[in-house]
Structure 1
Amino acid sequence: MPLSIHDLPAPLDTALADRLRTVDFPTLGHYLEEGFCDAALQRVAGTGKLVGRAVTVRTTATDSTLLHHAAGLVGPGDVVVVDTGGDRRHAPLGEVVVNALAARGAAGAVVDGLCTDIDALRAVGLPVYAYGRTPLTTKLHGLADGSLCAPVTCGGVPVHAGDIVLGDANGLIIAPAGRLADVLDEALADDAEEPALVAELWAGAPLGDLTGATETLRRLTASR
């Protein structure tokens, strides 16, 4: 693909981001199907919840010139999302790039591929998601190929610059802000009700009775 460089996306809605930090991310899975990255794309460094604005970078398999450029543009709350074009041999994310991102206040980094320098990445503490790690790194070839802040694919999910990236120990969700906002109230309500539900389970109540699943099955079998 030809080199394609676009402006950074609109700032993250801080009020929405703050509310998303309070929701249990798997609860969003009760209401959404889209936006969930491949389960094999997992956190390899960092802890806690990741909430940030996607800054998308498309690289070639061996050249990380564009990623180095992008690392100097990001700011607080940004999550660099790297599409390697399906490469699973070279690592564009390592100690230097991750330190560059952390120094500028970035919230995290996601690579649809591999990382390297895993001990150094864990020492930095920036949340990093990858499919694995390797000592084979990308180079600065300066190829006229790739994109910045253009649509990419990560973990099987289409990602646009400005989408919201949510990550924890379970994995990643990347979705437009509006789509997440649509289901957030219901998800937060579910979270608020869950402690009472768990208490009833320990008091002996069957789960199917509490959720209505058992009654649903009774109706289905009665209609045969």
Structure 2
Amino acid sequence: MASPKPPTNPFFLLTIFLSLLSLSSETQPATGRKPDSDLIRLSCVHARYPNLCINSLSAYAGSAQTPNGLAQAAVSVSLSRAQNVTIFLSRFLNAETVSKRERSTLRDCVEQLSDSIDELRKTLSELRHLRSGTFRWQMSNAETWVSAALTNDDTCADGFKSVNGSAKMAVRRKISNVARVTSNALYLVNRLASTRGSAAGDP
């Protein structure tokens, strides 16, 4: 006579299932993270503001798949934010709560950011037309322009250090953000400049 089968414990079966599932996941390659996302993370890790670098470039993960693409994306982020802040400052100029001294500082800041925008546009154009034969010369131009843009951002922010009023905190916060993404852009441009044209994914 066969002995009766012991009753099946559902919790025991669940434990076995979870164990097998865990083992399976450990032996399978990770597929959740895209290679282009890894490129952004690895490229940003030594930037001055790494978390901001990763977050600001995440929207470009599908298109920025080379060091050149990442540099272009970073410059595009800086350009876009500089343009947005310039619009904000121009509107702030007409606010009744802005003092005469603030208004003068705001005008200077708008002029400096306008220069930054021009420099970032030239940089982006240069990065889009890199050639192996003129790579070093073109990258030297790009580094100079982004560095100048960062200097303009910092000069704008410094102008508000001695100004007290309603505009000070709001403007310095926005300018600081622009300066930080520009700093990251300069890092990625410098990183691209340290490579050869072919290694950067250029023709």
TM-score scaled by length of structure 1: 0.21
More strand by share: 1
More helix by share: 2
| Structure showing greater Rg | 2
